[in-house]
Amino acid sequence: MSKVKIITDSSVQLTEEEIKENDISIVPLTIEIDGHTYTDGVDISRKKFVEEMDASKELPKTSQPSIGAFMEVIDNVPDDYTDILSLNMTKSISGTINAARQIKEMTDRNYEAVDTEFTDRAMAFQVLKAAKIAKAGKSVDEIKTAINNIRDHTYLYMGITSIENVLRGGRLNRFAGTLSTLLNLNLVLTMQNNSLDIAKRGRGRKTIEKYMKNVMEEIKGLKNIKSIGISYVDKLDYVNELKAQLQEIVPDVPLLIRVTSPVIATHAGTGAFAIEFYTE
């Protein structure tokens, strides 16, 4: 019988209980703020990072995990595991998957790295499924089939209220010329097929609020929603409005609301949030 160890990177949105209960190992990213380097989740919390980012003179710099960070996690995986499966954030945001794939040439373990094509809670849906069925003795191929199905039925909508970070971070370079000329621009971004795209743009917060009404109607019309996450950078007022709407529309669906990871906060900027969910 297979015994597969699941590892992932720290952009994932998991609770401490989920990590412990499902025996998931986390490879941390690093963040630099005004010359000070921090290890995500080790020497800086998510809330503390947002405070530091708001006070920083320059946009923080995020770095993919080093080869050494991956190897440290892998070296600590007990020998009785037959395989190690690394589930990583989308290449549209970070080069983490490239570092993860290099490990295959550096270890004697049966190791494979997968691009989940998502991040945050949308990525966690795959990680949790993988860990749960790995505990049941499923093989790597069976796990990959299961998480591919989740990936294909996952939705992510992100509201951006300040475009400075997303432009300076280079994640929407192909739109930079157009966007940089517009004041008070708000965006709704979607993530699908390993691509971060603009679904809606317009002046003021009402652009996002109007689009999110459509998202709520979409959720209302979907069957078999298994889980929903709302991740945010720093502002809870509108997030709490969305929470109330979701609890009315789908009261029985698990809902997790948490501060997002430093890598997402850096690129999304203050006021940003995301709604993420998947169906079966």
Closest CA to 276 of 196, 158, 194: 158
Neighbours of 144 (CB within 10 A): 17
137 with 269, same domain? Answer: no
CA-angle at 186, arms to 181 and 191, nearest 5°: 110
Task: Tell me which H or E stretch contains 93.
Answer: none
Looking up residue 79, the CATH number of its domain turns out to be 3.40.50.10170
234 with 106, same domain? Answer: no
Q: Which of 129, 152, 175 is the endpoint of a domain?
A: 152
211 with 260, same domain? Answer: yes
139 with 182, same domain? Answer: no
Count: domains in the chain = 2
76 with 94, same domain? Answer: yes
168 with 274, same domain? Answer: yes
Closest CA to 164 of 192, 189, 187, 197: 187
33-37, 62-66, 129-133, range with greatest mean pLDDT: 129-133
Asked, for residue 181, whether it belongs to a domain, the answer is yes
List the 36-39 sheet strands across, edge first: 36-39, 30-33, 61-63
Give the pLDDT mean for 223-243: 96
Q: Which of 120, 152, 184 is the endpoint of a domain?
A: 152
Q: Which of 152, 187, 222 is the endpoint of a domain?
A: 152
Q: Give the separation between CA 16 and CA 39, rounded to whole angstroms.
A: 17
**pLDDT tens column, 176-215:** 445 544 557 899 999 998 988 899 999 889 999 999 999 9
Closest CA to 260 of 248, 275, 245: 275
12 with 113, same domain? Answer: yes
Asked, for residue 168, whether it belongs to a domain, the answer is yes
Asked, for residue 106, whether it belongs to a domain, the answer is yes
3-class secondary-structure state, position 212: helix
**What tokens appear for 102 in the block?**
């290099």
Report which of residues 31 and 180 the model is more confident about. 31
Asked, for residue 59, whether it belongs to a domain, the answer is no
Mean per-residue pLDDT of the chain:
92
Biggest CA–CA distance in the chain, Å, is 59
Q: Supply the range of the domain harboring residue 135.
A: 4-29+64-152
Asked, for residue 99, whether it belongs to a domain, the answer is yes
Q: According to the model, what pLDDT value does residue 196 have?
A: 87
**pLDDT tens column, 33-53:** 999 999 888 888 888 898 898
Q: Up-side HSE of residue 63: CA atoms within 13 Å toward CB?
A: 12
273 with 208, same domain? Answer: yes
133 with 165, same domain? Answer: no
110 with 17, same domain? Answer: yes
Residue at 214: amino acid letter: N
169 with 187, same domain? Answer: yes
Q: Give the separation between CA 124 and CA 118, rounded to whole angstroms.
A: 9
